[in-house]
Amino acid sequence: LVSFLEFQAFESVLCRPDALYITAFQLFDTNGSGTITCDEFEEIIKHTTLHEQIPFNFGSEFLRLHFGGDKKREISYSEFTQLLHDFHEEHAIQAFQRYDRNRKGFISAIDFSNIMISVKSHLLSEEVKRNLVAVSIISFRKFVFSSYFF
């Protein structure tokens, strides 16, 4: 059950311009410490549909950059907002590398579409999503080069 005070507190959060980041921070801060650990970040990400579709490599340098070499550093809200922003870019890069099986710097238009819809769907309108494969094939002649993607 939610008390009226809790309801008011949550409603006040939703009125802020950074409401989505605050809500995400509270979701990732599973122990309520006011900071986020690498373990907390990994645990939440592992339960996302995105991770199920395109698994994120938690052993990459990306997490050491944000949480320290031993991944023991805890991050604040402002650091978390940067982490979340960078995470979407890193996940897209990892996805491209996963689809670039021959390591030639190219992926198919279908794979490009899958990455964009899985990793970057929040940036795409419904019309773009519906037409992404066709546009990719026309624009890139069936393949997408890595320099376009990064």
* Mean pLDDT, rounded, of the chain: 86
- The verdict on 8 and 29 lying in the same domain is yes
Q: What's the pLDDT band for 143 if we cut at 50, 70, 90?
A: low
Q: Is 120 exposed, middle or buried (0-12, 13-18, 19+ CB in 10 A)?
A: middle
Q: What's the pLDDT band for 144 if we cut at 50, 70, 90?
A: low
Over 90: is that where the pLDDT of 47 sits? yes
Over 90: is that where the pLDDT of 150 sits? no
User: What is the domain range of residue 123?
Assistant: 103-149
- The verdict on 75 and 36 lying in the same domain is yes
Percentage of residues of the chain with pLDDT beyond 70: 89
- The verdict on 115 and 73 lying in the same domain is no
Q: What is the DSSP string of 43-58?
A: HHHTTSHHHHHS---T
- The verdict on 17 and 87 lying in the same domain is yes
Residue in this structure with the two tokens 């670039």, named with its chain if needed: 100
- The verdict on 92 and 129 lying in the same domain is no
Pairwise CA distance, residues 12 & 116, whole Å: 33
Count of the separate structural domains present in the chain: 2
- The verdict on 68 and 131 lying in the same domain is no
- The verdict on 37 and 82 lying in the same domain is yes
- The verdict on 122 and 60 lying in the same domain is no
- The verdict on 128 and 141 lying in the same domain is yes
pTM for the model: 0.76
Looking at residue 146, what is its pLDDT?
Answer: 56
- The verdict on 59 and 89 lying in the same domain is yes
- The verdict on 34 and 75 lying in the same domain is yes
Q: What's the pLDDT band for 50 if we cut at 50, 70, 90?
A: confident
Assigned token pair, 134: 């066709």
> Higher confidence at residue 107 or residue 148?
107
| Tens-digit pLDDT profile for residues 53-111 | 899 999 999 999 999 999 999 999 999 999 998 998 899 899 999 999 888 888 887 88
Q: Which of 66, 83, 99 is the last residue of a domain?
A: 99
- The verdict on 111 and 80 lying in the same domain is no
